[in-house]
Structure 1
């Protein structure tokens, strides 16, 4: 396990040279090994180790997630692999995937750092990009206002429209070219959640008005609220752009960008150093909006469905 920790610490050090906002602590093998141990302790975890000349030079670990949304799956999470030579990921996966396929686990996911060699190796295993994790520093100068839009904090009087907007994103994700299998809740469920959550001070919600009508919303919070951005992917003192949606008939007027800027301005005002967000890469709206606001991809969630 200690050798795996050193390999992961080396990988993270290389990763941070390109993305210095990522947490420095995991460049220490004694810290990195805790992430490897956590990956190994997940129920059903298995994998492969590469030994060359009597030395361990790579490892790969994966485990299933008990959720029907992901299919009969196995996940290689952020700390799930590290190699000296990126090409050897292909050998490690070839060995581990033999057993996963025999177990009937045919939907494979891998969360891979933004490293060209590793991405190329995974792509040549038949994986494609599905989801992006990204970060940017908070703005040094606040973004200005948009004259045609009023962006303000949400209030209890906005609960009904917030509930409607809550459904807009999953509905959009179910369409082409995303085709997400995620469930879309009911308006009644969304209303009940917003009635309870509107006063939760750990989340900051903004709405955008156009001609007196609320057309979109965004939500900011501490990144610690997100289990999807932990460990190696959790920068120090980071905020999280956790949600944003604009009604379809109001797209194209700049509301999404204004709402993203509002979260960035808020994060700077309250003292965060950076902001993290994520998006489906097949979502044509968010995959263009967030990079245009300066978010730089740090991790790639890749996907492969066996037998097709």
Structure 2
């Protein structure tokens, strides 16, 4: 197939949106819990990507028809805020709906698109590139051939009416956290973040970010649509889980709650505490009108990468990443 590189002009946007609708529809039919549900149309997603400040876009055509497109935009966060825990300085992102190509030609089409877009990002000193996409392994492989790796996985699980509960843990008590428990919740959130410095994640956790994390859930502990639970054994805090509303998106249904934080003290792991914590939290979530729960984890985390799938979370989205050599001129 002969590809012709061109700008992603306004008249090509509807064709780009059709590519997104076709791919996302096919991907969702293959993913658990997503088939048949209503999601944002491709046109809305493409327009959102093009509206991002400083975006860089390209399209490829064949016989005058748009056969693929790619939109990347700078990704900056407050380096003392929560985003700094997962986004490096000098990053750019291809967000959800920011690319799609004709089925069956992903490797060659994405290569034609990424090369010129990446060159413009490098000129801007954007040397960390992220791609958000549905959990489609065939399309992910095309990005892997361009030097990307799997960084984050988002999982989804339906919340069921109370049924079989996890086995009890001797001496364990679960209670809902309130505003007066911010210190305990903040301390365990920091300990959870510090685990990211270990193998095989190796993500630094700057002290200013950790300091802000101690107070991050102050509003959560007061809001009726958000909640946290503490696990205590013989009166000692041994774990916690925090649930917050999940923003709806291309792979996240609107009635979904997110596991924002989860932690169990190292000495108490392996006893089933996290299962009891999550079951308690999800009973509240179901009674509060939520029907799905989502969690996001780093694919290289020894603790998380096996834990969340074992609890029943099925992958529905990936974040891919590529870090370029900072010696580039």
State the TM-score, normalizing by the size of structure 1: 0.88
Structure 2: how far apart are the matches of 1:181 and 1:172?
A: 10
User: Which range moved further: 241-250 or 31-40?
Assistant: 241-250
Structure 1: how far apart are the matches of 2:249 and 2:215?
A: 32
Change in Cα spacing, 1:18 to 1:264, as seen in structure 2 (3 Å) is farther
Query: Which residue number corresponds to residue 264 of structure 2?
Result: 246
Query: Which residue number corresponds to residue 12 of structure 1?
Result: 24
Q: How much has 1:261 moved relative to structure 2?
A: 2.5
Query: Which residue number corresponds to residue 59 of structure 1?
Result: 69
Query: Which residue number corresponds to residue 24 of structure 1?
Result: 37
Change in Cα spacing, 1:45 to 1:194, as seen in structure 2 (3 Å) is closer
Compute the RMSD of aligned alpha carbons: 2.4
1:32-87: CA deviations, max 9, x gaps?
21110110111110121010121101111100112354222211111111111322
Structure 2: how far apart are the matches of 1:208 and 1:239?
A: 20
Change in Cα spacing, 1:232 to 1:197, as seen in structure 2 (3 Å) is closer
Structure 2: how far apart are the matches of 1:104 and 1:14?
A: 35
User: Which range moved further: 174-183 or 283-292?
Assistant: 174-183
Q: Is 2:213 the partner of 1:200?
A: no
Q: How much has 1:187 moved relative to structure 2?
A: 8.0
Q: Is 2:101 the partner of 1:83?
A: yes
State the TM-score, normalizing by the size of structure 2: 0.83
Tell me, yes or no, if the aligned pair for 2:221 and 2:227 is still in contact at 8 Å. no
Which of 42, 55, 63 is 1:45 aligned to? 55
1:1-308 residue pairs with structure 2 within 5 A? 1-19=13-31, 21-22=33-34, 24-26=37-39, 31-67=41-77, 69=84, 70-84=88-102, 85-87=105-107, 88-140=109-161, 141-148=163-170, 149-156=172-179, 158-185=181-208, 197-224=220-247, 230-307=248-325
User: Which range moved further: 58-67 or 252-261?
Assistant: 252-261
Structure 1: how far apart are the matches of 2:97 and 2:311?
A: 28
Aligned residues: 300
User: Which range moved further: 75-84 or 195-204?
Assistant: 195-204
Instruction: Kindly indicate which of the two structures has a greater share of residues assigned to helix.
Output: 1
